[in-house]
């Protein structure tokens, strides 16, 4: 490179000069490291990062050079590559142009993941018997994630679309880097101390193994397992698995899917109530049929017919000689018929009481479900005011003149300015 302090270079010229210097200074070499951020688009080229505990470098393995490759690389795998140093001029980044790749030992992070998973599994931390069921209709949902990430926005969008007045409490934490695991574990513990949320969603959006690593830390797994509140783990994308997923009461493939799990649609609740109503009606009808059948058997039994048969027999044999006995037998027939009528009336009354009791229970269940409906509070004239961060305004000290606030009602919301 010519040393001319007076010359003004364009960015493209400078990158081309650096490219020439680097490629001329380094011959082909072997490099070993752990694969991270592995991508293979439709072109068939492989793009990834090679790293160790101290540094990382980008690498590209073009499809034409992949002949003879005996395995498919993936993030977390330890590999050795043979290639050359080059510069990708559009971004000014230097990278390794891979000509050959061999499989090395297992990646350090992947090995740590498997070791911790095996240890906690042997301890029983992932047993299904420890899992807590999710509430049918939570009143308040806790979320442990970044306040600025897309994950929290996705969760809010799903919940507001299904139940606009559902209360969501955010515990903002770091979800990547140093100290993130400790913050997540502390937030889970604080929600348990707070005790006013019915279920928790813990997670973040997708990323590399390093980005998601805080959810593979033992402190997070133990905090989730110790939680008295049911926890849904929603870390990364559908293909990503973390230690937190195994420790949680339920795993969701994405943050949006976690919100769908914790808050069902109105149609689902209506269908469930309809099923309960049908089951109650069927049970009542079965009970009535059973009681009617018992009444029919009792009315047609020989015990109730016997007095009349005996009276007829005695009339035929002793018509003239035993008129007094006939009158007595006739009297018994009358009494027996009266008892039969009384039994029928008692059974009918019993059926009526059973039906009335079942209807009262059905009405009580319907009233309880209506009381649990989150919309019930807003229909009575109440509302909730949120600040621009989406937090509920509980005190005038939370807002300042000139700030925008949002008031949510039963049938919609409007924006106001604080004066």
Residue 310 pLDDT grade (very low, low, confident, very high; cuts 50, 70, 90): very low
Please check whether residue 159 lies inside any domain of the structure.
Answer: yes
What pLDDT does 307 receive? 56
Q: Is residue 223 within 8 Å of residue 194, measured between CB atoms?
A: no
| CA gap 148, 159 in Å, rounded | 18
**Of 106, 138, 169, which residue sits at a domain end?**
106
228 with 276, same domain? no
**Of 229, 264, 299, which residue sits at a domain end?**
264
Please check whether residue 180 lies inside any domain of the structure.
Answer: yes
94 pLDDT higher than 50: yes
Structural tokens at position 376: 């019930």
247 with 334, same domain? no
Residue 338 pLDDT grade (very low, low, confident, very high; cuts 50, 70, 90): confident
* DSSP state at residue 24: H
Stretch 176-189: mean pLDDT? 95
Backbone phi, then psi, for 125, in 5-degree steps? -70, -20
282 with 339, same domain? yes
Between 92 and 96, the higher pLDDT residue: 96
128 with 258, same domain? yes
What mean pLDDT, rounded, does the chain reach? 85
| CA gap 149, 159 in Å, rounded | 17
The mean-pLDDT minimum among 53-67, 148-162, 341-355 falls in 341-355
What pLDDT does 267 receive? 65
Please check whether residue 241 lies inside any domain of the structure.
Answer: yes
28 with 75, same domain? yes
Please check whether residue 275 lies inside any domain of the structure.
Answer: yes
Which residues on neighbouring strands pair with residue 84, listed in sequence order?
A: 97
126 with 75, same domain? no
76 with 160, same domain? no
335 with 387, same domain? no
- Give the residue numbers spanning the domain of 397: 381-417
What pLDDT does 38 receive? 94
412 with 401, same domain? yes
CATH number of the domain that residue 70 is part of: 2.40.50.140
Stretch 360-372: mean pLDDT? 79
| CA gap 64, 88 in Å, rounded | 18
Which residues on neighbouring strands pair with residue 239, listed in sequence order?
A: none
Please tell me the total count of domains within the chain.
4
35 with 98, same domain? yes
pTM for the predicted model, two decimal places: 0.48
Condensed to tens digits (0 to 9), the pLDDT of residues 101-119 reads 988 765 667 778 889 999 9
132 with 242, same domain? yes
């Amino acid at each position: 490179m010519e040393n001319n302090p007076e010359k003004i270079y364009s960015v493209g010229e400078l990158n081309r000069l650096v490219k020439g210097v680097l490629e001329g200074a380094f011959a082909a070499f072997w490099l070993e490291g752990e694969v991270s951020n592995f991508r293979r688009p439709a072109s068939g080229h492989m793009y990834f990062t090679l790293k160790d505990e101290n540094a990382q470098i980008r690498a590209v393995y073009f499809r034409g050079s992949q002949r003879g490759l005996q395995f498919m690389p993936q993030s977390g795998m330890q590999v050795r590559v043979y290639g050359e140093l080059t510069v990708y001029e559009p971004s000014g980044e230097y990278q390794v142009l891979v000509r050959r790749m061999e499989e090395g030992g297992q990646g350090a992070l992947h090995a740590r993941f498997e070791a911790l998973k095996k240890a906690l599994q042997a301890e029983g931390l992932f047993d299904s018997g420890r899992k807590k069921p999710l509430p049918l209709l939570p009143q308040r949902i806790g979320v442990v994630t970044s306040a600025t990430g897309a994950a929290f926005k996705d969760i809010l969008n799903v919940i507001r679309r299904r139940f606009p007045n559902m209360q969501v409490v955010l515990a903002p934490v770091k979800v990547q880097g140093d100290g993130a695991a400790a913050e997540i574990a502390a937030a889970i513990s604080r929600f348990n101390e707070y005790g006013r949320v019915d279920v928790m969603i813990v997670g973040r959006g997708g990323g590399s193994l390093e980005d998601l690593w805080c959810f593979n830390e033992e402190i997070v797994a133990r905090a989730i397992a110790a939680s008295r509140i049911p926890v849904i783990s929603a870390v990364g994308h559908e293909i990503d698995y973390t230690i937190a997923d195994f420790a949680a009461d339920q795993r969701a493939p994405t943050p949006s899917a976690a919100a769908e799990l914790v808050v069902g649609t109105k149609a689902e609740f209506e269908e469930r109530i309809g099923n309960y109503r049908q089951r109650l009606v069927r049970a009542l009808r079965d009970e009535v049929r059973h009681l009617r059948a018992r009444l029919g058997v009792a009315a047609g039994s020989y015990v109730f017919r016997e007095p009349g048969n005996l009276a007829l027999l005695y009339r035929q044999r002793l018509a003239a000689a035993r008129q007094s006995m006939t009158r007595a037998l006739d009297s018994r027939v009358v009494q027996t018929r009266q008892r039969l009528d009384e039994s029928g009336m008692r059974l009918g009354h019993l059926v009526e009481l059973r039906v009335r009791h079942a209807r009262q229970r059905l009405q009580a269940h319907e009233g309880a479900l209506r009381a649990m409906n989150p919309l019930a509070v807003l229909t009575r004239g109440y509302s909730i005011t949120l600040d621009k961060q989406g937090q509920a305004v509980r005190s005038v000290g939370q807002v300042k003149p000139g700030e925008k606030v949002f008031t949510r009602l039963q049938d919609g919301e409007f924006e106001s300015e604080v004066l």
